[in-house]
């Protein structure tokens, strides 16, 4: 029986075996940005331990010293205040909080992902004529697309960068928000559909590192990782040459095929890329005939499209819900999309022959309210009109 008790705890040691395969990339980074983030993390933790450790030790000491069975402990029922003790209790945490605040303020501004790098590593500033490598990143379901606009190539689930050269990532997403993270290179940054985010980083040591999606995005999330290859300039040029030799073109139809959900996609490359593809992804207009967000915002800034916009609504046949295999119409209506605007000839054929539609359009700019009763004051008589079209030049209102 004694022998059994002696080895009874050994099975619990098996739970520690998987930890042997862990790699402390956050605490052993290969890039200057990640190293500075590591230093900020370690320094902040040590500062907080200056309070946490003494409190934990004193908790044990007080519990032992003032337990009921210890008759040697001093009993002072009239004690209620100590200025020295209050000073230590409040001053020490306050100083640590001030120090942590200063470190966090300086660190977060110096390590702002949008801020261009000012150094390659400690003691090696970025030369004034250094141009960062541009890499456009698209978070897809469930894979990563990397576009190199200067080299004119693209890759899936694999990226390569030269060592000691700043890299500027420009990121977006296709359907849902995701998070781009290379622990050995730089911090995490979100990628969101219809938006463009930035991340600056650098590798200081060659090697193969792991990039992950650190934000849950669906059933294929666990396989949404990629290889990050860091090498010298010759190795990077060789990687680019292999991508070009592999052939393949990433145009809009091919991108729409890749955009469909797929899991555990092996690395692949494309020798040629549509130069406008990434901007179309950001503006959510890769589909043929779909209006871009930039165009829509420009039209809205001009006051909208009025009557001409009524013919630019068509059924959406490739929305994100259908791509994921589920239809999720909003409020019961079928999905729709805004199509690119027709040519003047199309507009003339549709509206030019109709006298009812070719009458002088009403200027809707002075519209001050829509389906809302006008405000009532203490000395203002009530009005029965729900919509008021005010003419600023005459100071008169037209009742409907």
**What's the rounded Cα separation, in Å, for the pair 26 and 34?**
7
- Of 24, 1, 397, 14, nearest to 209 (Cα)? 24
What pLDDT, on a 0 to 100 scale, did the predictor assign at position 389?
39
| pLDDT tens-digit readout, 286-323 | 888 777 888 878 777 777 666 656 555 554 444 555 55
**What's the rounded Cα separation, in Å, for the pair 378 and 365?**
29
| pLDDT tens-digit readout, 95-124 | 999 999 998 898 888 888 999 998 998 888
H or E segment and range at residue 241: helix 233-245
* Segment among 17-31, 61-75, 163-177, 386-400 with least mean pLDDT: 386-400
Determine the average pLDDT of the residues in 367-372.
Answer: 46
* Segment among 7-11, 64-68, 148-152, 352-356 with least mean pLDDT: 352-356
- 119 - beta bridge partners? 125
What pLDDT, on a 0 to 100 scale, did the predictor assign at position 150?
93
With tokens 């860091």, the residue in question is: 230
CB 156 within 8 A of CB 258: yes
Alpha helices by DSSP H, 9-128: 10-13, 32-65, 83-110
| pLDDT tens-digit readout, 206-225 | 999 999 998 888 888 888 99
């Amino acid at each position: 029986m004694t022998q059994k008790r002696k080895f009874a705890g050994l099975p619990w040691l098996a739970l520690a075996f998987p930890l042997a395969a862990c790699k402390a990339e956050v605490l052993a980074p290969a890039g200057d940005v990640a190293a500075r983030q590591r230093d900020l993390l370690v320094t902040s933790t040590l500062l907080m331990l200056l309070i946490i450790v003494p409190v934990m030790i004193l908790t044990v000491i007080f519990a032992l010293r003032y337990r009921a069975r210890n008759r040697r402990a001093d009993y002072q029922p009239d004690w209620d205040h100590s200025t020295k003790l209050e000073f230590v209790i409040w001053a020490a945490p306050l100083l640590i909080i001030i120090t942590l605040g200063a470190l966090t303020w300086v660190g977060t501004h110096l390590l702002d992902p949008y801020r261009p790098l000012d150094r390659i590593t400690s003691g090696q500033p970025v030369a004034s004529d250094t141009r960062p490598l541009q890499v456009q990143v698209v978070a897809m379901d469930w894979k990563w697309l990397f576009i190199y606009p200067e080299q004119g190539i693209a890759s899936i689930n694999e990226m390569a960068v030269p060592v000691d050269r700043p890299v500027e990532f420009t990121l977006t997403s296709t359907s849902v928000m995701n998070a781009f993270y290379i622990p050995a290179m730089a911090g995490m940054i979100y990628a969101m559909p219809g938006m463009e985010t930035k991340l600056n980083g650098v590798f200081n040591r060659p090697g193969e590192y792991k990039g992950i999606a650190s934000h849950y995005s669906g059933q294929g999330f666990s396989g949404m990782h990629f290889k990050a290859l860091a090498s010298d300039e010759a190795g990077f040029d060789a990687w680019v040459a292999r991508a070009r030799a592999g052939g393949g073109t990433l145009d809009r139809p091919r991108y729409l095929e890749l955009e469909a959900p797929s899991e555990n996609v092996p690395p692949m490359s494309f020798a040629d890329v549509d130069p406008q593809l990434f901007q179309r992804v950001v503006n959510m207009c890769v589909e043929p005939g779909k209006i871009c967000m930039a165009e829509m915002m420009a039209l809205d800034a001009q006051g909208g499209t009025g009557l001409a916009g009524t013919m630019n609504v068509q059924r959406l046949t490739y929305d994100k819900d259908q791509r994921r295999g589920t239809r999720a119409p909003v409020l019961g209506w079928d999905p729709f999309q805004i199509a690119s605007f027709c040519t003047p000839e199309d507009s003339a054929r549709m509206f030019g022959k109709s006298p009812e539609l070719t009458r002088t359009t009403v200027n809707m700019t002075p519209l001050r309210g829509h389906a809302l009763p006008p405000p009532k004051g203490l000395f203002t008589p009530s009005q029965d009109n729900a919509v008021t079209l005010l003419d600023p030049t005459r100071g008169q209102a037209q009742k409907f």
